[in-house]
Copies of this chain bind each other. A is one copy, B any other.
Amino acid sequence: MENFILENPTRLVFGRNTIETVGSEIGAKGCRNLLLVAGGGSIRSNGVYERATASLASAGIQWGELWGVQPNPTLDKALEGVAEARKRKVDGVLAIGGGSAIDTAKAIAAGVFLEDLWQAYEETVKIECALPVFVILTLSATGSEMNHFAVLTHQTERKKWGLGSRFFYPTVSIVDPSAQLSLPWEQTRNGAIDAMSHVMEFYFSARDQETALALDESLLRSIVVATDRLQQQPQDYASRANLAWAATLALNGVSGATMVGDFMTHGLEHTVSAFYPQVAHGAGLGVIHPAWIEYMEPTYPATFARWARNVWDADSVKEGTARMRSCLQRWGAATRLRELGVDREQIPAMAASIPPSRRKTKLKEMALADLEAILNLSW
C-alpha cells in the first residue's frame, strides 16, 4: 500500500450538449484569445467544430486555428503551434479532439514559455508555467482530458516520450459522449484498449490494495461491456458515456491511487510507434500488454491470478491472457506485433532505444534482455 496525493484541479463537464457551454466555461476563466488545436477535420463533418465555435463566438472569444495534428503527435507540429500562439499572443489553448490534439495543446501551452520545448521532454529543463489548456474531447482513450501527462514524438530522433507536469492539467475539459457517436470502430476500440492498459499499468503493482484492485477490476469489466455493445450499436449513447467515464477514471488519479504503477508496457509501445508511426497507440498496447503479463507473472503471482479470475473469469494467468487476446480478436484488433507490420529484426534496436532511466519500473528493473524478451513474446 503506497502513500499518495490526489489533487486534480481539472473541471470536468460531462454529458449531452455540454459542448455548447465551452464559450461560457472559458470566458469564466478570463480567457479571450485562444489557439484552437485540432486534427484532420472529422470535427467539421460531425458538427463538433461548428457547435464549439458558435459557443466561443457568442461568448466574445477570439481564436486562431492549428489543424493537422496526427496520431502520435509530433514535436514539429507543437512547435508550429508555439509560433502561432506567440504571434497571436493567445491567452489559452483549446484542444478539440482526442489525446493527440490534447497533448499537442499541452506542449504548446508550455512551449510558449520555453526556448527549447524538447528539452522539457528530455527532462533537462523543468516546466515552470503554461497557458491554460481547455479541452473538448472527441475520443475517449488517453485520459489526457483530466491528467497532467502529455506524450510527444521527436520524429528524426525516433523518440516518443511521456511527460508529467502539474501545468498540464486542463483547466476545463468538456466530455460530451454524443460527440463520439460517429467514431469509426477502430478508433473506439483502440481507445478502449488504451484505457484498459492504463488501468493495468497500475493494477499489477498492487498487493494488499483491495479497494483499488476491486475498483480497477470494475473499470476493466465495464470497458469490455461498453466496447462489446458499441461494436454492435455504435450509436448507443449510454455505452459511449460509460466507456468515456471509465477512460477518464483510468488515468485521472483514481484508478492508480494507493499504487505506484509500472508503465513499462507504455514505454515499450512508445518505442514501437516511434519506429513504426503507423502503429496506433491502442493497437500497440493491446499486443504488448498480454505478453508483458505473461512475462511478469512471477514477480507477484497473486495479483496476476486475481486479474485473470476477476476480470476474465479465468483459472490461470495463461487462460486470462488467452481470453484477453480472444476479446481483442473479437474486436478485430491485432494480437501480435507482426500483424502490425513490425519487423522482428528491429526488436533489439527498439529495446536499446529505451534508456536505462526509463527501464526502472515498480515491478522490476528491466535489463535489455527483459525488454527484448517481451517484444519477442509480443511478436
- Interface residue ranges, A against B (CB under 8 Å): 1-18, 208-212, 214-215, 217-219, 221-222, 225-226, 237-239, 241-243, 245-246, 249, 254, 257-258
On whether the beta carbons of B215 and A222 are closer than 8 Å, the reply is yes
A245 nearest in chain B by CB position: B211
Q: Please measure, in the bound complex, the distance between the C-alpha atom of A2 and the C-alpha atom of B2, giving whole angstroms.
A: 34
A237 nearest in chain B by CB position: B1
A208 nearest in chain B by CB position: B238
Q: Please measure, in the bound complex, the distance between the C-alpha atom of A10 and the C-alpha atom of B16, giving whole angstroms.
A: 27
Q: Which residues of B contact A5 (CB under 8 A)?
A: 11-14
A258 nearest in chain B by CB position: B245
Shortest C-beta distance, A14 to chain B (Å), equals 5
A221 nearest in chain B by CB position: B214
Q: Which residues of B contact A237 (CB under 8 A)?
A: 1
Q: Which residues of B contact A241 (CB under 8 A)?
A: 1, 209, 258
Residue from the list B9, B218, B243 in contact with A218, Cβ < 8 A: B218
Beyond contacts A210-B242, A218-B218, A241-B258: 13 other A-B pairs, Cβ-Cβ < 8 A, are A3-B17, A4-B15, A6-B11, A14-B257, A14-B258, A209-B241, A211-B219, A211-B226, A211-B243, A211-B246, A214-B219, A214-B221, A217-B218
User: Which interface residue of A212, A218, A226, A237 has the most chain B CB atoms within 10 A?
Assistant: A218
On whether the beta carbons of B238 and A1 are closer than 8 Å, the reply is yes
Q: Which residues of B contact A219 (CB under 8 A)?
A: 211, 214-215
Shortest C-beta distance, A325 to chain B (Å), equals 23
On whether the beta carbons of B249 and A254 are closer than 8 Å, the reply is yes
A212 nearest in chain B by CB position: B245
Q: Which residues of B contact A16 (CB under 8 A)?
A: 3
Q: Which 4 pairs, one residue from A and one from B, show the smallest C-beta to C-beta distance?
A: A3-B15, A214-B218, A208-B238, A218-B218
Q: Please measure, in the bound complex, the distance between the C-alpha atom of A245 and the C-alpha atom of B257, giving whole angstroms.
A: 9
Q: Which residues of B contact A215 (CB under 8 A)?
A: 215, 218-219, 222, 249
On whether the beta carbons of B210 and A222 are closer than 8 Å, the reply is yes
A222 nearest in chain B by CB position: B211
Q: Please measure, in the bound complex, the distance between the C-alpha atom of A364 and the C-alpha atom of B11, giving whole angstroms.
A: 30
Shortest C-beta distance, A209 to chain B (Å), equals 7
Q: Please measure, in the bound complex, the distance between the C-alpha atom of A76 and the C-alpha atom of B89, giving whole angstroms.
A: 54
Q: Which residues of B contact A226 (CB under 8 A)?
A: 210-211
Shortest C-beta distance, A17 to chain B (Å), equals 8
Q: Which residues of B contact A1 (CB under 8 A)?
A: 15, 237-238, 241-242
Q: Which residues of B contact A15 (CB under 8 A)?
A: 1-4
Q: Which residues of B contact A242 (CB under 8 A)?
A: 1, 208-212
User: Which interface residue of A16, A221, A242 has the most chain B CB atoms within 10 A?
Assistant: A242
Known contacts A3-B15, A245-B257; is-contact A214 B209 (Cβ 8 Å)? no
Can you give 15 A-B contacts (C-beta < 8 A)?
A1-B238, A2-B15, A3-B15, A5-B11, A5-B12, A5-B13, A5-B14, A9-B9, A14-B257, A209-B242, A210-B242, A211-B246, A212-B242, A214-B222, A217-B218
Q: Which residues of B contact A221 (CB under 8 A)?
A: 214
A7 nearest in chain B by CB position: B11
Q: Please measure, in the bound complex, the distance between the C-alpha atom of A13 and the C-alpha atom of B219, giving whole angstroms.
A: 24
Q: Please measure, in the bound complex, the distance between the C-alpha atom of A237 and the C-alpha atom of B209, giving whole angstroms.
A: 11
Q: Which residues of B contact A218 (CB under 8 A)?
A: 211, 214-215, 217-218
